[in-house]
Structure formats: structure tokens, C-alpha cells
Structure 1
Amino acid sequence: MDDARRVSAEFLGTLLLVFIGVGSAVAAREQGGVVVVALAFGFVMLALVYTIGPLSGSHVNPAVTLGVLLSRKISVLGAVRYWIAQLAGATVAGFLLFTLTRWGGVTDETKSLGSNGYGGTINLGGTILLETVLTFLFVLVVLVVSSRTEHAAVAGLPIGLALAAAHLVGVALDGTSVNPARSLGPALFEGGNALQQLWVFITFPMLGGALAAAAASLILGTDRRRVTHPAD
């Protein structure tokens, strides 16, 4: 029963993260700018940490789950379940955004359903570097902050700020992924270049998550007094 609740929390959390975060780009990218999109992602992430964090750890991101798996805080089976739930949640969110723009009268200010992509303001090599570094930052903050008792009451703040900071840097370049699920949902319904380039926004955020797990291990050492990501 607990496993089902955790997986359901990851499904719902990822759905909300993608719908609200990407939705802010779709509805207000031109009028609100990068700051509005970055704050939307940061605020919803902060809220999710406190809402579903005590239940599932509030990964809502396959790269975070990979980092937690490599840190040995979740089982392989548990990680696979999370990944399936996250990708499913993002897919539903992508469909809801598609519905809003096709039949809901919403003008898509990104012209691409908020999907990630390169070629305009950044090339492939730049995107690989950007996504690896930004995801490294975000996952490192998640792993370190959630592993220390003294940060438990305020964990949502640095995690939300880290995600917002990543978007402040990346939105104008490649739309900012740092989350393969976030990239998958819109790309499935946008198609075209978004789908062709999707492999980049899956591969390199996952690489960033793996590198963050290694760095977190060095930072934390044996001081792992609190584990907020449940293992099963």
C-alpha cells in the first residue's frame, strides 16, 4: 500500500510540476519573461517538497531518482516504479497543455508547447554542457539538503531556489530541461524537432544526476543522518 501511495505521489507531483511550470512558459513566456517561468518552476517545486516530500521524497524527476538510486537510498525496483510514474505524469501534463492550446483558446507563446530544443540560441555541444551542469547543480542540492537533519524544516527553499536558478540560466537558451520527464511530456505532443532532439534532454540530465550523486557522496562522507527519500 505504501509503495502504491509513493508511486501515485510521484505521478501527481510530476504532472503538476510539468503542467504549471511548462504552462507558465506556454501562457506567459513573452509577456512575463524568463523570471516568471523560473519562479513558476521554483515555487511549484517548493510546494511539492512539503506536500509529497514526506511520502515519496518528491523526486518528480528521473535524474533526481537516479541520483538517489546511486546514493543507495532507494532500491532498483523502487527507482523503476518512480521513473514510470514520472514519465506517465509528464505525459498527462503534456496532453493537458496540448488540449489548452488546441481547443482551450490558449495562445502558445513558445510556439512549441514549451518543449526543449537547441539550434536557435545554443548549439548541440552547448546544450550538452548546459543541461549536464544545471542538472548537476539541482540534483546535488536535493541530495545534500535532504540528507541533513538541520535542513529538514527548510529543505523546500533551497531546492526550489536551485530549480529557479537553473531556469533563469537556461530558459532563454534551450528552454531548460534538467528533468527528462519535463522534456518528454511536451515533446510527445509537439512532435517534429522537439521529438527528434529529445534524446539530448534525457541523456544529459541523467548524466548530471549521476555526477551529482558522486559529488554528494564526497560532500556528505559518512555524515548521512537523515534520509528523506524512502527506500523500499
Structure 2
Amino acid sequence: MSSNTLVSNVNKHIQENYWLYIISILCVFTGIILGIYSVKYMGEFEHKDLVNYLVNFIDPSNTSGISYKLIFFQSIKNNLPVIIFLWFLGLTIVGLPIIVIIDLLKGFTVGFTFSFMISGLGKSGIGIAMLGVLPQNLIYIPCTIFASVISMEFSIMLLRNKFNKQWTSSISSRIIYYSVIFIVIIAFLFIGIIIESYIAPYFVKNLINNLGSLSK
């Protein structure tokens, strides 16, 4: 497939699923806003408790013992099941509401993490969030949005076929093609996992060592 054909197919896909992208993106950004405001309205005791946990977790005296392998497997555990679940939801007719909720939760997690680090650690938190949270989420969020749209598109197609009674033998080939797309998404997801596991911790470690303190 030539690059021109690929670009043409991508443009066609976006045009055909424009509103699905709008819905998915709006859900993610709504989740981010909710995550930010949830930190703002946290109780003082809960906030202090989480700040103390965060400071102890990334204390400069502990960063030399970072287990990159442990972070790698934890990143897989946190992210891969989401994409697999989105794949499964696309194979169901009733998966659309759950897909929307997943997008909201993804945005909420990112918004909460950023807001909490900044409110709890001040200027240090900004640097840690930019180096330790943002890079991998530049991969995770597009992967989640794209997977959500593909899943919703396939679910809608199944729904239309059921109502129109147009079930054909080609459905198996469509499922295979649908699954291949998700394999590609997972491949891109692993780029984010590698960043989160090996690259981001290295930069955060150096930042903390240079700062010497995690106070505001």
C-alpha cells in the first residue's frame, strides 16, 4: 500500500466517523476536567495523605532502586486490558455506553494525576508531570480514542446488520480485519509502555536528583 493510499484511507475513515471521534474526544476531555476538579474538592486529610504517599514513593533516596521491569509489567497491566476490552465491546451490540465510560475514565485518570501532582508538589510537580506522565499519554490517549472509535464503528455496523437482517458470510473476514487493526493499536500502545517504563522514570529520576527536594 502506497503512502498516498494510506493517507487517503485514513482521511476517509475520519470523515466517515467524524462524530464518533468528536464523541470520544469530548468524553476524554470531560474526564480530564472532572479529574482536575476532583483534586480541587478533595478533603484536606485525603489530600495530605496522598501527597505524603507520593513524596515517599518518589523520594530521591529511593529513586536509585527503580525497578524498570516492574514498571513495565505494571504498565502492561494498566493499559493492555483496556484496549482488549474495547476490542471485545466492539463485537457486542450493547457496548457503546461502556466505551464512552472508558473514555471518561481515561481522561479522569490523566486529569487527576496531573492536577494532584501540581497541587501537591507545586513547581516540582509540574516538572514530574511533564516528564513522568505526559510523554506516554501522548501515545495512550490517541490509542484509546482510535480504539474507541473503531470499536463503536464496528458495534454500529453489527447493529445495522441485525436490524436490516443482512448477516452475511463476510462477517468473519470483517472481524479478522477489525482484530488486525487492534493488533496495530496494541503495537503503538507498547511504544507508550516502553516510554513509561524506561524513558520517563530516567528523566524523572534525574529531575528529582537535581531538585533535591519535592516541597512546593
Classify the TM-score, shorter chain.
0.3 to 0.5
Tell me which structure has the larger Cα radius of gyration: 2
TM-score (norm 1): 0.36
TM-score (norm 2): 0.38
